[in-house]
Homo-oligomer: A and B are copies of this chain.
Amino acid sequence: MGTTQLEAAQEPKYWHLRTVLAEALDSEFAVGEVLPNERDLAARFGVARATLRQALEQLELEGRLQRRRGVGTTVAPPRIGVPVGPAEGDWPGAGNDTWRTIGCVEAPAPAAVASLLNEGRPGYRATDMVHTIRRVRMSHGQPVATELLYVPRDSVPGLPELLPPTAHPRAVLRELHRLELESEDRTVELGSARAEDAKQLERLPGAPVLVVTTRYVTGGRVGAVAVATYRADTCRLTFGDTGAVEITHHDDERRQAS
């Protein structure tokens, strides 16, 4: 990476800088390598630190850089492909997944979830209590997602009363798994990590995340709703039959067809 000056251009400096850095990343850096610090880089390119940071932010958003306070900026590995069903043991509680249960409370569902339950569930009221299970999904030793799973009480009628807190979430998941899953539908959208999610994902609040909302249909009605929050910087969500097709490259410049 030379001591290049930025030539005059129509495009914003930070955008040009992004391109220059992206090329340097491809040709001169290995995964895991640490970049010079922001002050040095800014000086090297003759821009203010804020401008350099704007370029780094872009590259981090694209999953090509990883920045850690107190440590430095490193070249990120390719994104992890995480299967998001349908397929395999997708019904929560199925055996060999990588979810780790964190806790469980009973509370009314937040408005967004309540309205989802409302549509697909005769007789459900927004103030009804639901089992709310928080889980964390690990992959390659890192946390990639946190999930809140909302299970209306009468979806799991066989649940024993008065369970100790540690047994409670396991029991809910087991009862859930006994039901027959008919279908599921999902939405994916961009969001930013709330404080609790951010902590579980080892990121700062506001970090970009992919929010996956799943409705599980069983017995002709919505049996459960899951809101999963995936780290957008490190994850690539995979859908469909093929599952684990490995793609080991970054999304690169595409050709215009016009």
- A237/B187 in contact, CB under 8 A: yes
Query: Across the interface, which residues of B come within 8 angstroms of A185, CB to CB?
Result: 238-243, 245
- A187/B81 in contact, CB under 8 A: yes
Query: Across the interface, which residues of B come within 8 angstroms of A113, CB to CB?
Result: 254
Query: Does A104 lie at the interface of the complex (its beta carbon under 8 Å from any beta carbon of B)?
Result: yes
Of A30-38, A65-73, A137-145, A189-197, the one contacting chain B is: A189-197
One of B183, B251, B258 near A189 (C-beta < 8 A): B251
- Most-contacted residue by chain B among A133, A187, A211, A237 (CB, 10 A): A187
- B63/A258 in contact, CB under 8 A: no
- A115/B257 in contact, CB under 8 A: no
- B115/A249 in contact, CB under 8 A: yes
Query: Does A13 lie at the interface of the complex (its beta carbon under 8 Å from any beta carbon of B)?
Result: no
- B112/A251 in contact, CB under 8 A: yes
* Chain A interface mostly: mixed
Query: Across the interface, which residues of B come within 8 angstroms of A248, CB to CB?
Result: 115
Complex Cα–Cα for A215 and B238 (A) = 11
- A251/B191 in contact, CB under 8 A: yes
24 A-B residue contacts at CB 8 Å? A15-B206, A61-B208, A62-B192, A79-B189, A102-B258, A105-B257, A107-B255, A110-B252, A112-B251, A115-B249, A119-B245, A132-B255, A185-B238, A185-B239, A185-B240, A185-B243, A187-B236, A190-B190, A194-B253, A194-B254, A196-B258, A210-B210, A211-B251, A215-B245
